């Protein structure tokens, strides 16, 4: 019998890859998108998840990825993410759905000292991390007493890949010949290629046990922004990034935010986004590999950047 999944946030950077991976695996996929679906998304339902759900098809699994921009503030994130989560959970419980995967983030750990496994304390320091932790707790609280249920929380590292905001912005700045970056660039963190994030969802469906499970999703090779940006510059044959004092970048961010708001465009470099970039977040993926059989196709950013910037896939 075909496994069926409903994917929220299916029009987003990660969501599109999850939909494609689930389709390739033979799952029946219902994609929930906020914007009108393009021709590449089958079985798409356009719906603003801040509004109650109805008339959704019954499914075996819910993959909840929908959320606001990571650089947004507390008020916007809570207004969007918490409302969406409550509506999806309310609908799912009424529909009798027992299996859930939530796309959380490394930012729930806050400033990671060393390497964070899933037992590390959760002390988020930015709004994005706080709201992700709030949704985690809401989902667990609402589903924990449902018999034979599975709730999987995926705490995802810094995601990159072709077509994503990070790579698009980075390559554009490098090609212009000036790529400013906040801080020294020596912040340690774990990256993960977007295709490997999608594979983590499939591993969870195939192998996760009943009950509540938390997994970090990251590649095998922690690095720094300095090394990541240096490699990107090499691949683009461009000048390396220029690392600027955070105080100077914060002034620029305020001006950029005001300018974009005046033109009704979403600001990209916000105060919260700078804090996100400068937060150390090295993750251990040992539990994901041990329990769910996860094996990243892009075990380090070096292979992944070749795909993202040059189209050199490492998939067999």
CATH number of the domain encompassing residue 108? 3.40.50.720
Predicted confidence band of residue 259 (pLDDT cuts 50, 70, 90): low
What pLDDT is recorded for position 49? 96
Q: What's the domain range around 146?
A: 4-160+190-220+281-299
Percent above pLDDT 70 for the chain: 89
Tokens of 266: 């979403």
Distance between CA atoms of residues 66 and 12, nearest Å:
8
What pLDDT is recorded for position 249? 64
Distance between CA atoms of residues 145 and 169, nearest Å:
44
Domain assignment present for 262: no
What pLDDT is recorded for position 114? 96
* Cβ-proximal residues to 199 (8 Å cutoff; 6+ apart), any chain: 21, 294, 296, 297
Domain assignment present for 314: no
Question: In a 10 Å sphere around its CB, with 0-12 CB exposed, 13-18 middle and 19+ buried, how is residue 119 labelled?
Answer: exposed
pLDDT at 44 over 70: yes
What pLDDT is recorded for position 313? 66
C-beta neighbour count of 72 within 10 angstroms: 23
Domain assignment present for 168: no
What pLDDT is recorded for position 256? 59
pLDDT at 203 over 90: yes
Q: Please compute the mean of the pLDDT values over residues 188-201 and round it to a whole number.
A: 98
Predicted confidence band of residue 266 (pLDDT cuts 50, 70, 90): low
What pLDDT is recorded for position 274? 78
The per-residue DSSP string of 106-163 comes to GGGG-S-SS-B-TTS-----SHHHHHHHHHHHHHHHHHTTSTT-EEEEEEE-EEE-TT
What pLDDT is recorded for position 70? 74
What pLDDT is recorded for position 268? 55
Domain assignment present for 76: yes
Tokens of 156: 């995802």
pLDDT at 261 over 90: no
Domain assignment present for 154: yes
Percent above pLDDT 90 for the chain: 73
What pLDDT is recorded for position 72? 75
Q: Please compute the mean of the pLDDT values over residues 223-243 and round it to a whole number.
A: 95
* CA distances, 126 to each of 83, 108, 255, 279 (Å): 19, 9, 21, 9
pLDDT at 301 over 80: yes
pLDDT at 39 over 70: no
Distance between CA atoms of residues 71 and 77, nearest Å:
9
Tens of pLDDT, residue by residue over 90-106, are 999 999 999 999 999 99
Domain assignment present for 80: yes
C-beta neighbour count of 316 within 10 angstroms: 4
pLDDT at 1 over 60: yes
Low-confidence winner among 25-39, 109-123, 184-198, 284-298 (lowest mean pLDDT): 25-39
Burial 14-49, CB ≥16 within 10 A → b, else e: bbbbbbbbbbebebbbbbbbbeebeeebebbbebeb
Q: Please compute the mean of the pLDDT values over residues 259-278 and round it to a whole number.
A: 66
* Cβ-proximal residues to 202 (8 Å cutoff; 6+ apart), any chain: 21, 22, 25
CA-nearest of 216, 227, 223, 238 to 287 is 216
The secondary element (H helix, E strand) that includes residue 262 is helix 246-262
What pLDDT is recorded for position 140? 96
Q: What is the mean pLDDT of the chain?
A: 90
* Cβ-proximal residues to 11 (8 Å cutoff; 6+ apart), any chain: 31, 33, 34, 35, 37, 41
More confident residue, 28 or 183: 28
Distance between CA atoms of residues 115 and 119, nearest Å:
11
Domain assignment present for 265: no
What pLDDT is recorded for position 278? 87
Number of domains in the chain: 1
More confident residue, 7 or 264: 7
More confident residue, 92 or 73: 92
């Amino acid at each position: 019998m075909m496994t069926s999944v409903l994917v929220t946030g299916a029009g987003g950077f990660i969501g599109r890859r999850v939909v494609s991976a689930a389709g390739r695996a033979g799952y029946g996929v219902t994609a929930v998108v906020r914007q009108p679906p393009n021709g590449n998304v089958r079985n798409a339902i356009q719906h603003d998840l801040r509004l109650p759900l109805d008339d959704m098809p019954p499914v075996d699994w819910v993959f909840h990825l929908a959320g606001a921009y990571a650089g947004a503030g507390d008020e916007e994130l809570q207004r969007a993410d918490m409302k969406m989560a409550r509506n999806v959970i309310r609908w799912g419980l009424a529909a009798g759905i027992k299996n859930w995967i939530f796309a959380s983030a490394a930012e729930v750990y806050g400033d990671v000292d060393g390497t964070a496994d899933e037992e590390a304390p959760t002390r988020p320091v930015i709004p994005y991390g706080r709201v992700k932790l709030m949704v985690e707790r809401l989902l667990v609280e609402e589903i924990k007493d449902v018999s034979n249920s599975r709730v999987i929380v995926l705490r995802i590292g810094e995601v990159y890949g072709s077509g994503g905001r990070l790579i698009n912005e980075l390559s554009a700045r490098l090609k212009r010949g000036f790529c400013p970056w906040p801080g020294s660039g020596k912040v340690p963190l774990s990256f993960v290629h977007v295709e490997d994030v999608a594979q983590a969802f499939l591993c969870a469906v195939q192998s996760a046990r009943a009950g509540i499970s938390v997994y970090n999703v990251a590649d095998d090779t922690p690095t720094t922004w300095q090394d990541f940006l240096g490699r990107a510059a090499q691949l683009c044959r461009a000048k390396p990034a220029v690392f600027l004092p955070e105080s100077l970048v914060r002034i620029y961010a305020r001006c950029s935010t005001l300018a974009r708001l005046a033109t009704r465009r979403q600001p990209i470099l916000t105060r919260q986004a700078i804090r996100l970039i400068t937060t150390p977040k090295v993750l251990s993926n040992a539990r994901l590999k041990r329990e769910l059989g996860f094996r990243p196709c892009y075990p380090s950013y070096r292979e992944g950047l070749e795909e993202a910037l040059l189209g050199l896939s490492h998939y067999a």
